[in-house]
Amino acid sequence: MNIKVLGACASAIALLGGAAQAEISGDAVKIGVMNDQSGLYADLAGQGSVEAARMAVEDFGELDGASIEVLSADHQNKPDVGSNTVREWIDVDGVDVIVDVPTSSVALAVTEITREKNKVFLVSGAATTQLTGEACSPTTIHWTYDTYALAVGTGRAMVQEGGDSWFFITADYAFGHQLEEDTANVVKEEGGEVLGSVRHPLSTADFSSYLLQAQGSGAKVIGLANAGTDTTNAIKQANEFGITQAGQQMASLLMFLSDVNALGLDVAQGLVLTTGFYWDMNDETRGWSERFNERAGQMPTMVQAGVYSAVLHYLNAIKAAGSDEAPAVVEQMKATPVNDFFAKNGTIREDGRMVHDMYLARVKKPDESSGPWDYYEILRTIPGDQAFLPLEESTCPAVNQ
């Protein structure tokens, strides 16, 4: 009897010992950063996101008995290319987590694969709310922003300032459609109306035709439901065609720091935008961003800052859980609040949404800017519980059960 008890104690201790030492598959944590590294979204994510992931790994330090490796790949904004890369990464290279993946159409394809293969997917670059809605997955966490937050931030602010009739110029794929839909909902909720919309192919150079249609609609606000160089070209040409001078307002629903940098303040001044992060907010954000700038040669966009925050939180969770098995890590990540330069008291909901404060910003006039990258004036903080779709309204099947 006593021997049996002893034996049970011994095996219990052995089990505990085993759990305390991290059980890392393949003795390596492999982080696969995949995004657009050559096309229109390469500056807002691209190599900068890879660099941010590397910084997170370095800042995290050592993991007992396992190495940490960062891989990167270009998905060229094509769902088929992205799917193939992710399958190869997981099946052949033993990658544990997929990170970033801007371009919603690609992210939606990836989330199906990581669900099937039971791997973690940390989304920073993609925007569509479907990732935490119909397409939500137990191992997908949507970190930085989404189309709902952009609609609530910029959309509501514009309507409240009198812009109550809208015309949308929309990128013709998953992201654009979702952003238009979410914004249109907010506009109608606030008592405004939507007069029409036009859809353009991804990566368009000439927007004059669409702008002319928007002008002809007589809407007070022209909402740009697109991103990257599509947005910058549209804004530049709206300026050229005298659209803003004639009294119509441009609403750049998704605009990154890299876009403002490319446009120059002369053209971009006065635009209102929603962002999850701005480098010049406090000592903490400045400190990290300057380190990033030294390595990447540009100040971070919210996507790149979000990649760092997500990867660091992920690695800390592995350490705490003592395992790199997806369900255990995700459970640990959801149980721990996110506290770093990017988010204060951020929480990860059961639908995979990381809830944190967003900011409404206005692009400075050239004479208000003190130098390179001094672009935003933060108008107000949008608290996390207002910025993101309330859990009760979520269409995620796992939530409604």
Task: State the residues that interact with another protein by CB under 8 A.
Answer: 38-44, 46, 172, 198-201, 203-206, 208-210, 212-213, 215-216, 228-229, 232-233, 236-237, 240-242, 246, 258-259, 261-264, 266-267, 298
Nearer to another protein, 1 or 205 (CB): 205
Please state the closest distance from residue 268 (CB atom) to another protein, in A. 9
The dihedrals phi and psi of 271, each to the nearest 5 degrees, come to: -65, 140
Nearer to another protein, 126 or 260 (CB): 260
Nearer to another protein, 344 or 365 (CB): 365
Nearer to another protein, 88 or 240 (CB): 240
Nearest to 121 by CA among 134, 108, 130: 108
Please state the closest distance from residue 45 (CB atom) to another protein, in A. 11
Nearer to another protein, 83 or 213 (CB): 213
Task: Determine the 3-state secondary structure of 195 from DSSP.
Answer: strand
The dihedrals phi and psi of 220, each to the nearest 5 degrees, come to: -75, -30
Please state the closest distance from residue 115 (CB atom) to another protein, in A. 30
Nearer to another protein, 369 or 395 (CB): 369
Using alpha carbons only, give the angle 99, 179, 229 rounded to the nearest 5 degrees. Answer: 70
| Neighbouring-strand partners of residue 86 | none
Nearest to 289 by CA among 36, 51, 32, 100: 51
| Neighbouring-strand partners of residue 314 | none
Nearer to another protein, 136 or 219 (CB): 219
Nearest to 151 by CA among 132, 131, 177, 172: 177
Please state the closest distance from residue 256 (CB atom) to another protein, in A. 9
10 Å Cβ neighbour count for 316? 18
Nearest to 235 by CA among 215, 248, 256, 250: 250
CA distance 177 to 182: 9
Residue type, 74: D
Please state the closest distance from residue 58 (CB atom) to another protein, in A. 24
Crossing angle of helices 46-60 and 283-296, rounded to 10°: 120
The dihedrals phi and psi of 28, each to the nearest 5 degrees, come to: -150, 140
CA distance 206 to 234: 8
Nearer to another protein, 38 or 400 (CB): 38
Nearer to another protein, 92 or 205 (CB): 205
Please state the closest distance from residue 138 (CB atom) to another protein, in A. 35
Please state the closest distance from residue 207 (CB atom) to another protein, in A. 10
Contact 231, 256 (CB under 8 A): no
Please state the closest distance from residue 191 (CB atom) to another protein, in A. 28
CA distance 69 to 196: 48
Widest distance between CA atoms in the chain: 91
The dihedrals phi and psi of 218, each to the nearest 5 degrees, come to: 75, 10
Please state the closest distance from residue 201 (CB atom) to another protein, in A. 4
CA distance 126 to 395: 18
Please state the closest distance from residue 241 (CB atom) to another protein, in A. 6
Nearer to another protein, 262 or 391 (CB): 262
